[in-house]
């Protein structure tokens, strides 16, 4: 009778293991699939960030070039004024007009450069969110692996919770809803 009880108990335990392993397999498949989708989107975001950063650098370089031209024109005007030659008056007027034009152009270029910086920062929020998603989903997959080995139900629930948190972060990032956490970013960064 003892052998029958042992056999039944082993069969029940084996059935539980198969059930946990089947659940783990489904969770891993869902988590890994969602993780792959998030990685594709994150790659696109990184490209957009690089483009915004490059445009910002170009705009600040252009701003600096205009500043240099303005400075040269201002110095030239000062030198011409020191010469006190009436023939220079026309040249001084033209250069002062250039200085005014450079100042106006610099204002526009500065706005553009700042807009590119803001675009970069706005995109970066979602890049960080996708990075956090990736981290949570990676942790969840590792925890599912340990769950399959140990057959601990509480570990299955924990891994599932971490996976759901990662999926939630990813879905909100896809929807452009910022759940950006500076604390988590500092820890992971």
**Which of helix, strand or coil describes residue 83?**
helix
For 78-104, how does the pLDDT look when each residue is reduced to its tens digit (9 = 90+)?
Answer: 998 888 888 888 998 999 999 999 999
Give pLDDT tens digits for 121-170: 999 999 999 999 999 999 999 999 999 999 999 999 999 999 999 999 99
The pTM (predicted TM-score) of the whole model is 0.72
Q: Which residue has the tokens 């604390």?
A: 183
- Does the structure show a pLDDT above 90 at 1? no
C-alpha span between 89 and 93 (Å, rounded): 6
Q: What are the structure tokens assigned to 4, written together?
A: 């029958």
What gap in Å lies between CA 114 and CA 112, rounded to an integer? 5
Look-up: residue for tokens 């990685």?
Answer: 39
Q: What are phi and psi of 137, to 5 degrees?
A: -70, -35
Report the C-alpha gap between 111 and 124 in whole angstroms. 20
């Amino acid at each position: 009778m003892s052998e029958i009880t042992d056999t039944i108990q082993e069969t029940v335990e084996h059935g539980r293991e198969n059930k946990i392993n089947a659940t783990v397999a489904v969770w891993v498949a869902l988590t890994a699939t969602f993780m792959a989708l998030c990685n594709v989107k994150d790659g696109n975001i990184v490209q957009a960030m690089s483009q915004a950063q490059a445009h910002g650098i170009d705009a600040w370089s252009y701003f600096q070039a205009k500043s240099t031209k303005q400075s040269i024109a201002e110095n030239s005007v000062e030198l011409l004024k020191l010469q006190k030659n009436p023939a220079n008056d026309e040249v001084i007027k033209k250069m002062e007009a250039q200085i005014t034009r450079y100042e106006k152009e610099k204002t526009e270029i500065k706005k553009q450069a700042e807009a590119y910086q803001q675009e970069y920062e706005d995109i970066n929020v979602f890049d960080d969110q996708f990075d956090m998603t990736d981290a949570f989903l990676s942790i969840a997959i590792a925890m599912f692996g340990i769950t399959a080995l140990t057959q601990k139900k509480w570990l299955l629930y924990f891994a599932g919770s971490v996976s759901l948190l990662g999926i939630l972060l990813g879905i909100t990032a896809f929807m452009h809803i910022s759940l950006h956490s500076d604390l988590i970013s500092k820890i992971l960064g």
